[in-house]
Each structure stands twice: as structure tokens, then as C-alpha cells.
Structure 1
Amino acid sequence: MAFTLSEIMAARRQQTQAQLQAQRGNRTAVEVDEYSTNPTQAFTFYNINQGRFQPPQVHMVDPMPHDSPKPPGYTRFVCISDTHSRTDSIQMPYGDVFIHAGDFTELGLPSEVKKFNDWLVGRQTSWVKNR
């Protein structure tokens, strides 16, 4: 019987997790992902069921309207990604922390990076309300 690379990797990961759990006992620990130094291998492992794989710790939530008020005492994180040099029409809420999670250029050109940086500087004061 032949096994695929994905099946071998999954079995190896389960074995490693079982060993770590036995070593830890009841203690909680955060482990560095074994594929963190090999993105290609990580992609292969985590992409086994592309489109259907959902890590158990992730919970999908509905997005909030961009103009909804922030409740008192809360910290609002504003996270966007994949803008691909198309930032002109983005509507964002006020936030305490702004995160751009990647892919902000279309081709990776220096002119696109400069345009994105200029956009960030220009929007800086509109993201965080004065306290």
C-alpha cells in the first residue's frame, strides 16, 4: 500500500503532537510549528483539503459595518489585506490598531510601495480618534 506525502506528513504530525502532549502532562504550552522554517512543506501539509480545511480554533464571524461605533472600553483592531494597489475606495472604521496583512501591491514595484506608504501616511489621522 502506497501513502501520499500528505498522509505521511499528517501521521508524523499526529505522532509528534501525541509525544508533546505526553511530555507536557497538564501544562499548557505554545509550540513552534514544525513547518515554520519550510513554507513549501507547510503549504503542502495545511493544503491537504484545500477549500474545506478549517483549523478548529478559528471561528468565522460576520464583518461589522465600517461606520459602527466602538463600544467604550474596547480596543478596535482594523485588519485588511490583499489591497493590490487599490486603496482609493477603501472605507475603514476608526481603530486603535491597524494591521495590513499583506499583498498591498499588484506587482511589487517600488512605485507601488511608495504609493501605499503615502496612502498610509495620509490616512493615519483618520484611523485613530483623538482620545
Structure 2
Amino acid sequence: MDENEISKIIVDASYKIHVKLGPCLLESVYENILFYELQKRGLKVEKQKPLPVIWDDLKMDVGFRTDLIVENKVIVEIKSVEQIINVHPKQLLTYLRLTDLKLGLLINFNEDLIKNGITRIVNNL
């Protein structure tokens, strides 16, 4: 399964969650439910995975944590904020570069329509 096929499943699950729950809940609620839904669909999902950052000879074991990594191919960064600000897509792009993954989805569940809250971020895809 490639990144685009995985992202379709993630978007579909996000849509179903948003339709049922609506906006304005805590990010952790959406993260846990999306984690559950993706696993239920047979995908390998890691939640709050600590990842290292390496600088020269310095290795920081926990340089950052991703919300979700799906099938070791797609990073999902979940937000529940009034609006996405410039730093949010940059943050996800940095995560993609540091992990050498190609696709990330920035999902803001705090939107009236979830389609307005989903942004694809690519890293040499």
C-alpha cells in the first residue's frame, strides 16, 4: 500500500470521526479515536512515537514525538485549534525530513467541515 492509498483511509476515518463527534474536543480525543479506527481497519499505527534527532556526534533519543505514524509511511499531526498557523505545516515538514518519510497529513478537527481542516504536506513525493 502506498502513501496515497494510506492517506485516503486516514481521511475517510477522520471524516467519520468528525461527522459523529464534531469540532472542539481535545486533540488527544481525536488522536486516540483515529488511532483506534486505523488499527480497526488493519493498519499498523504508532502513537506518540519518540524519534531521535542526530547532530554530528550528538544523538538525542527523544528529539520529537509524532502524533501518529501509519504503516511507517505517513505522519499524521492532529490539531484542534481555532486556526492553523504558519508553524504547523513547517513542523510537520520538519518531521518528514527528519524521518525521511514522504507524506504527512495535518488534520485540524476544529473546523465546521473536516475537508477544510486537512492539509497534505509532502517531502520529495
When normalised by structure 2's length, the TM-score is: 0.29
- Larger Rg, first or second structure (1 or 2): 1
More strand per residue: 1 or 2?
2
More relative contact order in 1 or in 2 (CA 8 Å, sep 6+)?
A: 2
More helix per residue: 1 or 2?
2
